[in-house]
Amino acid sequence: MGKDKAFLKYKGNTFLKIILKEIQDFVDEIILSINKPEYLYREEISFLNKPVKFVKDIDKFGGPLNAVVSCANEIETDRFFLLTCDTPLFKGTLISYFQSTIENYDCVIPVINGKYQPINTIYKKDTLEVAKDTYINQRKNSLFAWINRLNVKYVDEEEIKKIDKELGSYFSVNTPKQYQKLLEKF
């Protein structure tokens, strides 16, 4: 995209603010993995009714598994929700749904249009040691390299559609074309 997606605007607010407003009532803690100075994010989170922890990425260009490993030591709850800032249509009610379905699994992975969605879903905290091993010792930065080592519950898109009819929670804005589609379609 050429710019930080957290600060892209949609309906008058940044993606970051939209997502945080959507999830704040469904989570106990918020940890932001950042690769820019913390002060840039402060205004966007000032409305929150709970504290936010900022964690610098271990590797500025390391990808989502880098973000998970960077935040691992800050996670205090027994489960955590891995959410990206480029999905401003995310529905917070999915968090409750995933909480109720994780049971004896390490994580819940939605399958949307035949593709696994390792982001915008829930994981158990005890999977973080596997994440660290995958990233640090095996030198793999793919979420799938981590997930393939876990006991996964897969959820098909029909289940997700019961909560998010248009599956907007899994519409990622990664290109100018996708951003334009977001602005026009939704």
CATH of the domain at 33: 3.90.550.10
**By CB neighbour count within 10 A (0-12 exposed, 13-18 middle, 19+ buried), where does 134 fall?**
buried
Range of the domain at 23: 5-185
pTM > 0.85: yes
Residue 186 confidence (pLDDT) above 90: no
* Cross-strand pairs, 111: 116, 156
pLDDT at 155: 98
pLDDT of amino acid 65: 95
Span 153-171, average pLDDT: 98
Token pair in block for residue 70? 């960077």
Cβ within 8 Å of residue 129, ≥6 positions away: none
Query: Domain tally for the chain?
Result: 1
pLDDT at 67 over 90: yes
Burial-class residue 157 by CB neighbours within 10 Å (0-12, 13-18, 19+): middle
Lowest mean pLDDT among 9-13, 34-38, 151-155, 168-172: 34-38
* Amino acid, single-letter form, for residue 14: T
pLDDT of residue 39: 94
* Residue 51 clears pLDDT 90, i.e. is over it: no
Mean pLDDT over 119-132 rounds to 98
Cα radius of gyration rounded to whole Å, the chain: 16
Helix (H) or strand (E) holding 115: strand 115-116
Amino acid at 44: E
pLDDT at 68 over 80: yes
Whether residue 61 is predicted with pLDDT greater than 80 in this model: the reply is no
